[in-house]
Amino acid sequence: MTQPNRIEPDLEFVRDVIGSGGDTLKKCFQCATCSVVCQLAPADEPFPRKEMIQAQWGLKDKLVSDPDIWLCHNCNDCSTYCPRGAKPGDVMNALRKKSIEHYAFPQAIAKRVGDPKSLPLLIAIPAILIAVIIGLTNRWWHGEAVYMDGDKAINLDQVIKSWEMIPIWAVDVLFILTGLFAVTVFAKGLLRFWGDLDAGRTRTIGVVQAAIDVVKDLAIHSNFKECSTNQDRYLGHMGVFYGFVALFATTSCIVVGFYFIDLILGIHVAKTPWAQWNPVKIMGNLGAIALLAGCFLLIRSRLNQDESESASSYYDWFLLGLVVVVGATGFLAEIVRLMGIGFLYYLLYYVHLVSVWMLFAYTPFSKLAHLVYRTAALIHNRACGRELLAKVPAVSVKEGQQAEAS
């Protein structure tokens, strides 16, 4: 005789999901419309229907390690066609937030990042840290009238014009340490996450081949094209994605040029700031424009969305706002530097450093962590032989609902 499985609902987890944006969870009555209209849910064990019932029951251990919450691209087709207004898309977004908190270390930081009351503290930490570093490493703050460039004394006016008031080496050391912290947090969380994925499903093909296939899909954002009700997110996400890629490549070129070519090889061709017509500088400027344009499309999409179908949470706006500040302050700082406005340049540059530090340090705890966890889930899903397939055109479902109503 088959022994029944005893379910121990985690009511605290249910309350957390509801408080994280999934407040419509209890409206779901398991009609499965969400799984039918989803253009990405695999034919075997489709989402998000099963996630909705599991969340209602508070099955935390099953949900935080569920790869399917990451296969969802939050296009909200499911919420658009839900007859009960249960907003499965918002619930899936809340589940991803709880998954990030579960795998993050320390978890206290993840909870702070998701709490609007903690925003002043999250800003104050890098603001004070960077101000202290500037104060300790820059002679001008100590009241000295000159700034030494090697054996050459430069007065304050020349310092402003030469853009050397903030020591580059101090900034680089800070961000290298911050980057190592973020990588360590991600590595620890990813190892646990991958272990849980392996415990849930068996891989049938090699991880390397699966990773190559997934990277190809990510390069063209093919899965976003399957979503029918929110195409603005496709272009916006493409802009942000490739904007980050271009800016990362630009930063990498500058670091390699300054520390390897200039300092180690002694070939003095990498002194910054580089000329505006330098190919690397052009790539960086185009990346900033793509980043800001993508953010504009995503903000417009969120402002125009029907609140009855989906609601934006603080967790969404925290990341989007931070990216906008990073892109805008960096771009404006470059413009005022070219105009020769020293004070305004340093003010913008300071805000830029604070926002970039926040982006680096808080990425493992914010919505941006989906870059790692979603990619891992997609790779594991592909390695298990499960395919994200368009099954039933969502427009036909909508027409069927309209016909039934009439």
Tell me the DSSP string of 277-298. Answer: TSHHHHHHHHHHHHHHHHHHHH
User: What are the tokens at 388?
Assistant: 């994200």
Q: What are the backbone dihedrals phi and psi of residue 96, each rounded to the nearest 5 degrees, phi first?
A: -65, -40
What is the pLDDT, as a whole number, of residue 136? 80
Query: Residue 44: pLDDT band by 50, 70, 90 thresholds?
Result: confident
> Contact 241/298 with Cβ under 8 angstroms?
no
Q: Residue 234 to residues 80, 237, 355: CA-CA distances in angstroms?
A: 17, 5, 25
CA angle (338, 329, 322) in 5-degree steps: 165
Q: Does 221 or 378 have the greater pLDDT score?
A: 378
* Average pLDDT value for residue range 22-35: 91
For 28, the 3-state DSSP assignment is: coil
What is the pLDDT, as a whole number, of residue 266? 56
What is the pLDDT, as a whole number, of residue 28? 92
For the stretch 116-158, pLDDT in tens is 999 999 999 999 999 888 888 765 444 443 444 444 444 444 4
Q: What are the backbone dihedrals phi and psi of residue 366, each rounded to the nearest 5 degrees, phi first?
A: -105, 180
* Average pLDDT value for residue range 14-21: 90
What is the pLDDT, as a whole number, of residue 406? 41
C-alpha to C-alpha distance for 81 and 395, rounded to whole angstroms: 10
* Average pLDDT value for residue range 261-288: 72
Q: Is it the case that residue 274 has pLDDT exceeding 80?
A: no
> Contact 108/185 with Cβ under 8 angstroms?
no
* Average pLDDT value for residue range 149-177: 61
Which of 223-227, 372-376, 396-400 has the largest mean confidence?
A: 372-376
* Average pLDDT value for residue range 192-207: 91
